[in-house]
Amino acid sequence: MKKFTSILLSLIFLFNFIFPSVIFAATPTVKLELGTENQNSQTAKWAWVFNVKTTNIPDGGEVTVGLFKNGVKDGNLTTVKITKNNGSYYTSSVLDSLTTYQVVAAYSGVKYDQFEKQTPEGVSRDITGTPADRGTVIGSDTPAVEIKPAATGTVGNEISKVYTLLAPIGNFKTFSSNNIGEYLNTMFRLAIGLCAALAVVMIIFSGVQYMGSESIFGKTEAKSKVFSAVLGLLIALGSWVLLNTINPDLTGKNGLNIDTATSILPLYDRGSSDAKKANGESVRCTPVLSGPCSVANLTNVFGAANAVAMSKICNMESNGTNASSSTDICKPNNETFSFGLFQVNLAANGGLAGSDCVGLFDKKVSAKDVIEPRYTSGYSCKLISGKQSIYNTCKNRLLDPTKNLAIAKSLFTASKSAWIGDKKYCASAFN
| pLDDT bracket for residue 378 (50, 70, 90) | very high
Q: Same domain for 414 and 363?
A: yes
Domain count, the chain: 3
297: nearest Cα among 324, 320, 318 = 320
Q: Same domain for 34 and 84?
A: yes
Q: Same domain for 214 and 142?
A: no
User: Is residue 110 included in any domain, yes or no?
Assistant: yes
Q: Same domain for 240 and 188?
A: yes
From 251, 278, 311, give the residue that closes a domain: 251
| CATH number assigned to the domain comprising residue 128 | 2.60.40.10
pLDDT of residue 314: 96
**Percent of the chain's residues with pLDDT above 70:** 74
pLDDT of residue 183: 67
| pLDDT bracket for residue 259 (50, 70, 90) | very low
Residues 6+ apart with CB under 8 A from 174: 108, 162, 163, 164, 165
Range(s) of the domain holding residue 380: 295-430
pLDDT of residue 181: 61
Q: What is the pLDDT of residues 230-247, one digit of tens each?
A: 898 888 888 878 877 887
pLDDT of residue 286: 96
Pairing between β-strand 329-331 and β-strand 379-380 as defined by DSSP bridges: parallel
Q: What is the pLDDT of residues 9-50, one digit of tens each?
A: 454 444 444 444 444 445 678 888 887 777 777 777 888 888
User: Is residue 281 included in any domain, yes or no?
Assistant: no
Q: Same domain for 329 and 371?
A: yes
Cα separation values, 262 from 258, 265, 418, Å? 12, 9, 11
Residues 6+ apart with CB under 8 A from 347: 330, 337, 360, 361, 363, 364, 365, 381
Chain-centre distance for alpha carbon 427: 35
Contacts of 299-304 spanning 24+ positions with Cβ under 8 A: 301/405, 301/408, 301/409, 302/409, 302/412
pLDDT of residue 430: 92
Residue 133 pLDDT greater than 60, yes or no: no
pLDDT of residue 159: 38
Comparison of pLDDT for 332 and 254, the residue scoring more: 332
Mean of per-residue pLDDT scores for the chain: 77
User: Is residue 268 included in any domain, yes or no?
Assistant: no
From 133, 152, 171, give the residue that closes a domain: 152
pLDDT of residue 340: 95
Q: What is the pLDDT of residues 170-185, one digit of tens each?
A: 665 555 545 566 666 6
Residues 6+ apart with CB under 8 A from 394: 346, 350, 353, 354, 356, 357, 360
Q: Same domain for 307 and 407?
A: yes
pLDDT of residue 252: 57
Q: pTM of the predicted model, to two decimals?
A: 0.44
User: Is residue 81 included in any domain, yes or no?
Assistant: yes
Comparison of pLDDT for 1 and 342, the residue scoring more: 342
User: Is residue 20 included in any domain, yes or no?
Assistant: no
Q: Same domain for 110 and 222?
A: no
Q: Same domain for 147 and 235?
A: no
Q: What is the mean pLDDT of residues 137-148?
A: 40
Cα separation values, 223 from 29, 214, 400, Å? 55, 14, 59
User: Is residue 21 included in any domain, yes or no?
Assistant: no
Q: Same domain for 147 and 183?
A: no
Q: Same domain for 147 and 197?
A: no
Is the N-terminal amide bond of 401 cis, ω within 30° of 0?
Answer: no
User: Is residue 357 included in any domain, yes or no?
Assistant: yes
**Percent of the chain's residues with pLDDT above 90:** 26
pLDDT of residue 315: 95
User: Is residue 323 included in any domain, yes or no?
Assistant: yes
